[in-house]
Amino acid sequence: MAKLAKTSIPGVYRRHRVVCSGKGRCQCPYVVFSEHRGKQTTETVATFAEARERKGTRQTTDKRPPSKIRVGTYFESWIKTYAGRTARGFSETTRPEYERPIRAHVLKRWATWKLAEVEPADIRELFVQLRGEGCSTSQIKKLRAALSVMFATAHEDSLVRANPVQGIRIPAEPDDGEPEEDTAKALTRAELARLMRAIPDDWKFFFEFLTVTGLRISEACGLRWEHLDLGDDPKIKVREQFYRGKRRKLKSGAGRRDLPLTDEMKTRLIAFKRESYRGPKTPIFASSAGTELIRGKVAERVLTPAAIAAGFKTEEGVDGKEKPKIRPTISFHTFRHTCASLLFDDGRNIKQIQEWLGHADPGFTLRTYVHLMDAGVGGGLEFPA
């Protein structure tokens, strides 16, 4: 086992290898010991000069104010007595706006931390965690404002060396939906018919529905029965999506739209409802357990085998030694593009198709589908015979 030998600097040791006598010059590394938040950390460096520099840096960085007050304790005192930091004073209507986000998101994590131990990296990590939990930019901004004021006051009280919130940016919103494909890969009517023959009977209606509506797969999985109007003016109300295992807001404001249904599709949905309805909050197209469909599982178990069986495939990795990997050339987006193609055939124009597909940018629609048609959204779209 390697031996640790003291050096002239406290906290810095020489780690002599087993085969080293520890005498004279050797190539053994140095170990720098330090403590942060009650935990001992070590770092191994090659030279004594590096060890001396790292120890000096750590001592400077880890030098904390003498205060041992905890985040939770300081917050309870601060939120009751805070009177503002400017001559204008402080509005009492703002106090609950500061209190609410800190109680909801900070105390459950940091209540027992020493106030002086909170660093910018911790603030940044907190914001990333909140974003991952689905918090909006507005919610994180409110928390950042409240924390910044609290730590600014603590700095004035000489309890922290600096405000750790200052300069911390809010992480960008995650992609809330699957990306659009830049190149439209629509099926012809003959190709669509060939693919549908390969799809199992109990899944045919789902893929016909995708073709007629042009919904993103996440939007189709997110449809609930409450989003369906089967009255005199039948329509689908696209209001949310189910993506990566969670219900989320739509990809853009343009995604919120109503899509008309033909009388034929209305009749088929009424029949489908009689067989599968489990309540207004349940998904229209559900798993055997009654939960939302998982995109990857439907692709793996249904779409990919059907596409390959119908001949929509490509072979990769043919080198004479291994079997080629067979991949489908059809994705869920293919049905969306096919819907756009059918809409053009039905006489719709770029603006109508942009609204139908829920594109935020008409330029994207124009770049993807270059045709220009007449005006008027018109009625629903029939599934091609």
Give me the residues paired with residue 90 across strands.
none
- Residue 38: per-residue pLDDT: 58
Half-sphere exposure of 313 (CA within 13 A, CB side): 15
- Residue 73: per-residue pLDDT: 94
Residue 55 has a CB neighbour count (10 Å cut-off) of 21
Per the listing, tokens 């209305």 go with 266
Per the listing, tokens 């992480």 go with 171
- Residue 136: per-residue pLDDT: 79
Is 20 within 8 Å of 1 (Cβ atoms)? no
CA 125 to chain centre: 15
Amino acid identity for residue 122 in this structure: D
Is 228 within 8 Å of 236 (Cβ atoms)? yes
Rounded CA-CA distance 10/59 in Å is: 11
3-state SS string for the chain: CCEEEECCCCCEEEEECCCCCCCCCCCCCEEEEEEECCEEEEEEECCHHHHHHHHHHHHHHCCCCCCCCEHHHHHHHHHHHCCCCCCCCCCCCCHHHHHHHHHHHCHHHHCCCEHHHCCHHHHHHHHHHHHHCCCCHHHHHHHHHHHHHHHHHHHHCCCCCCCCCCCCCCCCCCCCCCCCCCCCCCCCHHHHHHHHHHCCHHHHHHHHHHHHHCCCHHHHHHCEHHHEECCCCCEEEECCEEECCEEECCCCHHHCEEEECCHHHHHHHHHHHHHHCCCCCCECCECCCCCECCHHHHHHHHHHHHHHHCCCEEEECCCCCCCCEEEECCCHHHHHHHHHHHHHHCCECHHHHHHHHCCCCHHHHHHHCCCCCECCCCCCCCCCC
pLDDT digit string (tens) for 324-339? 778 899 999 899 888 8
pTM: 0.53
Q: How far apart are the first and last CA of the chain?
A: 78
Structure-token pair, residue 272: 């489908």
CA-angle at 117, arms to 138 and 12, nearest 5°: 140
Q: What are phi and psi of 231, to 5 degrees?
A: -85, -150
Bin 285: left if φ > 0, else alpha if -120 < ψ < 50, else beta: beta
Q: In what order do the strands lie in the sheet with 228-229?
A: 228-229, 235-238, 257-260
Ranges of residues in the chain with a pLDDT under 50 are 60-65, 182, 371-378
CA-angle at 86, arms to 83 and 88, nearest 5°: 80
Rounded CA-CA distance 7/13 in Å is: 6
Answer positive or negative: Cα dihedral of 140, 142, 143, 147: positive
pLDDT digit string (tens) for 200-241? 999 999 999 999 999 999 999 999 999 999 999 999 999 999
